[in-house]
């Protein structure tokens, strides 16, 4: 995710060893071929269950639609990496954060809107409201 490059296809695709090491993929690789996409993953990361039990193909279709929807909303171009992102950092800087750091950042944002339980305003609920069962 931290490095992007263009490789030329010549009866196959050669990926340098240093790049594979840099990606920390391990010794055994799993190659997933989709439409306009080939993913190389560590062998141990076989796709797990997906929400609603959808297939990998269905998931890829949905993700393509999501990507198209996002890019269309951004005017037809991917948003720039130096665009401000959550927590006062740029998207590029956010990408460099660990998962723990990202969570801490969101916890801090959430705290701005958190209120004491006693200060919470309770809404009316209809007597015929449908209870979760």
CA end-to-end distance (rounded Å), the chain: 43
Residue 70's alpha-carbon distances to 1, 89, 122, in angstroms, are 19, 21, 35
Pick the closer one to other proteins by CB: 17 or 128.
128
Among 13, 16, 84, 104, binds other proteins (CB under 8 A): 84
Pick the closer one to other proteins by CB: 22 or 86.
86
Select from 7, 4, 29, 26 the least CA-distant residue to 16: 7
Answer for the pair 81, 91: CB distance below 8 angstroms, yes or no.
yes
- Here the tokens at position 104 are 């801490």
Among 70, 96, 101, 104, binds other proteins (CB under 8 A): 70
Among 39, 43, 96, 101, binds other proteins (CB under 8 A): 39
What are the residues binding other proteins (CB under 8 A)?
Answer: 1, 39, 45, 47-54, 59, 62-63, 65-67, 69-71, 73-74, 78-79, 81, 83-86, 91, 102-103, 106, 109-110, 112-118, 120-133
């Amino acid at each position: 995710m931290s490095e992007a490059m263009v490789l030329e296809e010549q009866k196959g695709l050669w990926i340098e060893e240093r790049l594979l090491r840099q990606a920390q993929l391990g010794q055994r690789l799993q190659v997933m071929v989709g439409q306009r996409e080939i993913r190389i993953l560590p062998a141990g990361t076989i796709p797990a269950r997906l929400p609603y039990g959808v297939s990998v193909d269905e998931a890829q279709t949905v993700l393509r639609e999501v990507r198209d929807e996002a890019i269309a909303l951004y005017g037809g171009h991917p948003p720039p990496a130096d665009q401000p992102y959550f927590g006062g950092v740029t998207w590029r800087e956010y990408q460099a954060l660990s998962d723990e750091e990202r969570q801490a950042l969101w916890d801090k944002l959430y705290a701005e809107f958190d209120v004491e339980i006693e200060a919470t305003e309770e809404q009316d609920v209809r007597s015929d409201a449908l209870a979760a069962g």
